[in-house]
């Protein structure tokens, strides 16, 4: 489903980040990205009150980083009128649709790509080491 274009939300976040003054200490760039293309990741399963950009159907998913998109203002902070700083790394994550929706009737090779901010991601190896279970069914049925 990747057409090479970035989402409108990422464009808005990029514009906001560009407007931030480079010499203002509160708008510093984040540390180096934790993930790179090809890394296996787990999308955190959290359901906070209020705005969050990660779709509910994608929380708890396992996938692969398809690409690094850059560092952008945090839309979860922007939604409340805050400045969205510091910027957060954004990734495009690919997952198989049949793993998101058990009743999916298409090919087992069909994938979906979702842009996810770094604070929603865990390295899949870390997730497995921690012995975290996958309770996707309770939120996706």
Q: What angle do CA 70, 125, 112 make, to 5 degrees?
A: 50
Residue 56: CATH number of its domain: 2.30.30.50
pLDDT digits (tens, 9 = 90+) for 16-44: 444 443 434 445 666 899 999 999 999 99
In a domain, 94, yes or no: yes
Q: Give the closest residue to 9 by CA, choosing from 115, 112, 129.
A: 115
Return the closest-CA partner of residue 10 out of 96, 88, 65, 119: 88
Rounded average pLDDT over 103-124: 95
User: In this structure, is residue 2 part of a structural domain?
Assistant: no
Question: 60 Cβ partners below 8 Å, 6+ apart?
Answer: 42, 43, 45, 134, 135, 136, 139
Assess if residue 3 is contained within a domain. Answer: no
- Count of structural domains, the chain: 1
Does the pLDDT value for residue 95 go beyond 50? yes
Write phi, then psi, for 113 (nearest 5 degrees): -120, 130
| Residue 124, CA distances (Å) to 78, 115, 121, 130 in order | 29, 17, 9, 10
Q: What domain range includes position 113?
A: 8-140
The verdict on residue 1 lying in a domain is no
- What's the mean pLDDT when you consider all of the chain? 79
């Amino acid at each position: 489903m990747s057409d090479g274009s970035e989402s409108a939300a990422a464009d808005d976040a990029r514009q906001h980040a560009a407007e931030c003054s480079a010499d203002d200490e509160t708008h510093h760039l984040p540390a180096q990205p934790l993930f790179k293309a090809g890394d296996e990741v787990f999308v955190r399963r959290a359901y906070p009150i209020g705005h969050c950009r990660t779709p509910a159907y994608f929380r708890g998913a396992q996938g692969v980083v398809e690409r690094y998109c850059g560092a952008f203002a945090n839309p979860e902070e922007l939604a409340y009128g805050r400045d969205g700083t510091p910027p957060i790394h954004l990734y495009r994550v690919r997952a198989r649709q049949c793993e998101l929706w058990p009743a999916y009737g298409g090919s087992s090779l069909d994938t979906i790509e979702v842009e996810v901010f770094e604070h929603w991601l865990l390295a899949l190896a870390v997730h497995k080491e921690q012995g975290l279970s996958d309770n996707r069914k309770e939120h996706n049925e």
